[in-house]
Amino acid sequence: MARNAKQELVNFVVRRALDPVMKAKPDGRPEAEKRTLEHVQDATRSEIERYRGYGSAQEVVVNFRRDLNSPAAEKVHADLKALHLPTINDIEDEFDAKVEDLGVQVSS
């Protein structure tokens, strides 16, 4: 049975980096952190939908790598770090290993 590389990569990113953000609770946080959490959860919700919408494993890889250092992502990543939540940068090495394991080829 062929493995669905795109689905495996999307599930990996969602499970390891995005779900923890979505599951974070505002309880006990100062008001400013609650607002920041709400903002990053909205951005993360959009990111999950974006990842699910990619048409191929190659698209997932290209956009994951682009998201590591894009100016828009850097702001969200800074907010996530301040809230002690994971970013996709935290899973970069594991993601690259998964890409290699799945044999996904991306032209440079």
- pLDDT exceeding 90 applies to what percent of the chain? 92
Q: What is the mean pLDDT of residues 69-89?
A: 93
| Nearest Cα to Cα of residue 12 among 106, 105, 108, 88 | 88
What pLDDT is attached to residue 86? Answer: 96
Say how far apart CA 24 and CA 42 lie, in whole Å: 12
Output the CA–CA distances (angstroms, integers) from residue 33 to 7, 15, 30, 79, 108, in the order listed. Answer: 33, 23, 5, 9, 39
Q: Which amino acid is at 97?
A: A
Q: Does residue 44 contact residue 73 with C-beta atoms inside 8 Å?
A: no
pLDDT band, residue 72 (cuts 50/70/90): confident
- Supply the pLDDT for residue 108: 61
Is 94:16 a contact under the CB 8 Å cutoff? yes
1-20 pLDDT per residue, tens: 346 999 999 999 999 999 99
Answer yes or no: pTM beyond 0.85: yes
